[in-house]
C-alpha cells in the first residue's frame, strides 16, 4: 500500500465520518488498512476513495469471498462533481476483471445506489427491548450460526469478527445484549432467534462478473435473455442459461436489467420466477 495514499485515506475517512468517536475511528482505520483501497486522485489529491472488505458469502451450499464496500467518501470540496460515480465504475471494473460474482454494501441511501444497479437483497429487523445480560463472543457465534443454519445465503462470521465488533462497541461504552426472545441486540444490529423477512431495506448487492454470478446459481432458463448493464459493458450479453452456464446466442425472448437479475439471484425478484426460486437469507454486516 502506498503510504501517501493510506495517509490521504485516513484524512478523508475522518472528514467524511466525523460522527464516529476517536477510538472507533482508529479501530476502523486499523481494520480497513488491511483491505484493498480503490481511489481516484488528481494532482496529488484524493478525490474519492473506498475500501473493499473481503466477506465470506455462503450461497448455494458453497462459500465465496466477495468484496463489501466500506468507507466510501469524497472530500466536501469535491462533492457533486461525479467523483463517487466514477469511483464506483472503477470498482465494478476491477471486481469484474477478478471474476468476482457480487459486490455488497450497506448504503447510506438505497436510492443513491439503485442508480448504480445495486439491488436490495436483505431486510433488517425492527428493534426489540433488550435484557440487562450482555452476550459474550461465544453466545454471539452460537446464536448467529443457529439463525443461519437453514438459510440459502448469508455472511460467515466467526469469533474474530464478533471480537472486533465488541471492541468497536466498547470504545463507545456499548455492548451486545441478549434479548428476551432469544436473540441479541446492539446499537448496530438486532438478530432474532429465527429467520423471518425484515421490514427495513438493508444490505444491497450488485453483480460484478455476470458469468461468475450465474454459475453460483446453477439455474437453467427455457428461453434466451438479453442482460443490460449501463456501467459494465462486458456484462451486456445475450445468452441462454443451462445449469448456470452462459451459452451465447443471437436472439432473445426477454431483456433483463442487471439489477433485476441480481435481485433474482437472491430470490428477491418476481421477474424470472419460478426459474430463480425464492431464497431465504440475511446479510447482517454493515462494515
pLDDT tens-digit profile of 95-115?
A: 999 999 999 999 999 999 999
Domain boundaries defined on the chain: 130-152+162-196
Is the peptide bond between 274 and the residue preceding it cis, with omega within 30 degrees of 0? yes
DSSP3 helix / strand / coil % (the chain, rounded to 5) = 30, 30, 40
Q: Which three cell numbers stand for residue 205?
A: 448487492
pLDDT tens-digit profile of 10-43?
A: 999 999 999 999 999 999 999 999 999 999 999 9
Residue 257 near residue 268 (C-beta atoms within 8 A):
no
Residue 102 near residue 57 (C-beta atoms within 8 A):
yes
User: Is the full-model pTM beyond 0.75?
Assistant: yes
pLDDT tens-digit profile of 45-90?
A: 999 999 999 999 999 889 999 999 999 999 999 999 999 999 999 9
Q: Give the closest residue to 281 by CA, choosing from 147, 170, 131.
A: 147
pLDDT tens-digit profile of 168-199?
A: 999 999 999 999 999 999 999 999 999 999 99
Residue 241 near residue 227 (C-beta atoms within 8 A):
no
Q: Which three cell numbers stand for residue 73?
A: 467518501
Amino acid at each position: 500500500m502506498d503510504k501517501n495514499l493510506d495517509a490521504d485515506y485516513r484524512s478523508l475517512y475522518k472528514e467524511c465520518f466525523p460522527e464516529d468517536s476517536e477510538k472507533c475511528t482508529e479501530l476502523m482505520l486499523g481494520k480497513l488498512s488491511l483491505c484493498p483501497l480503490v481511489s481516484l486522485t488528481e494532482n496529488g489529491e484524493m478525490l474519492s476513495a473506498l475500501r473493499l472488505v473481503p466477506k465470506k458469502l455462503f450461497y448455494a451450499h458453497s462459500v465465496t469471498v466477495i468484496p463489501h464496500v466500506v468507507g466510501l467518501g469524497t472530500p466536501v470540496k469535491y462533492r457533486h462533481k461525479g467523483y463517487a460515480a466514477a469511483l464506483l465504475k472503477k470498482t465494478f471494473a476491477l471486481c469484474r476483471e477478478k471474476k468476482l460474482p457480487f459486490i455488497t454494501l450497506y448504503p447510506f441511501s438505497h436510492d443513491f445506489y439503485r442508480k448504480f444497479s445495486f439491488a436490495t437483497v436483505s431486510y433488517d429487523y425492527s428493534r426489540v427491548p433488550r435484557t440487562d445480560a450482555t452476550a459474550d463472543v461465544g453466545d454471539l457465534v452460537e446464536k448467529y450460526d443457529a439463525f443461519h443454519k437453514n438459510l440459502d445465503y448469508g455472511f460467515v462470521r466467526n469469533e474474530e469478527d464478533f471480537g472486533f465488533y465488541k471492541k468497536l462497541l466498547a470504545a463507545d461504552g456499548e455492548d451486545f445484549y441478549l434479548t428476551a426472545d432469544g436473540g441479541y441486540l446492539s446499537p448496530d444490529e438486532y438478530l432474532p432467534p429465527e429467520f423471518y423477512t425484515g421490514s427495513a431495506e438493508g444490505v444491497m448487492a450488485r453483480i460484478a462478473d455476470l458469468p461468475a454470478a450465474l454459475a453460483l446459481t446453477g439455474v437453467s432458463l427455457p428461453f434466451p435473455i438479453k442482460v443490460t448493464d449501463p456501467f459494465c459493458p462486458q456484462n451486456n450479453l445475450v445468452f441462454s442459461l443451462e445449469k448456470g452456464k452462459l451459452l451465447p446466442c443471437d436472439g432473445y425472448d426477454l431483456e433483463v436489467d442487471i439489477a433485476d437479475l441480481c435481485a433474482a439471484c437472491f430470490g428477491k425478484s418476481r421477474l424470472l420466477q419460478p426459474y430463480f426460486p425464492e431464497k431465504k437469507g440475511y446479510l447482517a454486516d454493515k462494515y
